[in-house]
Structure formats: C-alpha cells, structure tokens
Amino acid sequence: MTSPVEATLAYAEQFHHEDEILHAARQRGLEMGAVPILPGGGAALSFIATVVNAKSVVEIGTGCGVSGLWLLRGMRGDGTLTSVDVEPEHQRLARHAFAEAGFSGGRVRLISGRALDVLPRLSDGGYDMVFADGAKQEYADYLAEAVRLLRVGGVVAFDNALWHDRVADPAQRDPDTVSLRELGKLVQGDDRLRSVLMPLGDGLLAAVKIAQ
C-alpha cells in the first residue's frame, strides 16, 4: 500500500504536466540513456529562472533537451542558455527539441566537452543561473565553478540531490551517494549561499548567491 508520505510526494510530482514536446524529448533521452530531470524538478527550474529574471543560464549536462526546455520556458525572451555535454549525439537531439519548441538557434549555445574543461572559460559573475545534472562525483567542482560564474542574486541548482532515496540512508556508501552528501555539506557551510533542498523528482538542491 502507498503511505501518506508517498501519496503526497506523488501528488506534488504529478501536479506538473509535460506537453507533447517535452514528453517526446523525455522519451528520446530515456532511449539514449540520458535520464532527464523529472517534471517536478523541471517545473522548479522554470520557476527559479522566472523568479531571477534569468537572461544568461549555464546548464551542465544537456541530455536530450528536457531540462533545457524547462529552463528556456522560464527565462527571459532575450535570454541565452549555454549548455555543456560530452555527448554530441545527445546535443543533436536536444537541438531538435529546442527547435520543435520554437526556440531559435540564437537562444541556445551548445558546447561539446567536459564541463570542468569548459566552465573555466566562462566569465566570472556573468550568469543568472547554473543548473547541474552531470557526473555526480564532480558536483563539488561544479559548485565551485558555479559560485564564480554567478552574479549576486543568481541561483545554482543540482538535480539528483536525493539520489534514488540513497542520500538519506547512512548505510549507502557508494561514491556517487557520498559525493552528493558532501555537496549538501559544502552548500550548507558556504556563507555566500542560502540554500533549499526540494524533494521534487529525485531531489533538487538549490542555493542563491547572497555575497561575493
């Protein structure tokens, strides 16, 4: 039987609906092994992008375009999404999804490569939002880069912050789970950030930069 807590979390997740374009992008991602953010987390990304009036956003992990669609729909109409991924074929499918949704090529800058090679080339303080859904064991490094990239008032967000219910279980000690726990400690301990952990999707950890 479903517990009240499970029913509540399912209700919160199902509160957010995907249209045909998002659903098609999700299916392509699953077929390619690029598991996309769930609708609840995606809706939170769109909400955050709207709240911060995001014009410049960095995405770590393009996948097949699901999270990018959520971000673009929350961003300003003149905004640009810079998305980094190591898989060119994933980015090709993402570009198809963005075009299908009506976002011109000028709204999206796709960069193929390792995030930790690309991010250092981006401008300090030049971005309103950074979203990470890449290699979990690199999340701490993504955080350091994101704090540098963000303006004061900008937001960094990490998908899979609860990692299939493993992060909350101290018996789980695999490298990815340990890395995600460490990320939480780093965010909480950084005086430049004010954070929130949302149990939407597989968990979304977000933090606003409140000081340089």
The CATH number that applies at residue 50 is 3.40.50.150
Report the alpha-carbon distance of residue 50 to residue 77 in Å, rounded.
Answer: 11
pLDDT of residue 157: 99
Ranges of residues in the chain with a pLDDT under 70 are: none
In the chain the first and final C-alpha atoms are separated, in Å, by: 49
Query: Does the model's pTM come out above 0.75?
Result: yes
Query: How many domains, in total, are found in the chain?
Result: 1
Exposure letters 116-128 (e unless 16+ CB within 10 A, then b): bebbeebeeeebb
Q: Are 42 and 83 in contact (CB under 8 A)?
A: no
pLDDT, position 2: 85
| pLDDT confidence of residue 98 | 98
Q: Which residues contact 92 (CB under 8 A, 6 or more apart)?
A: none
- Domain extent, residue 65, equals 4-209
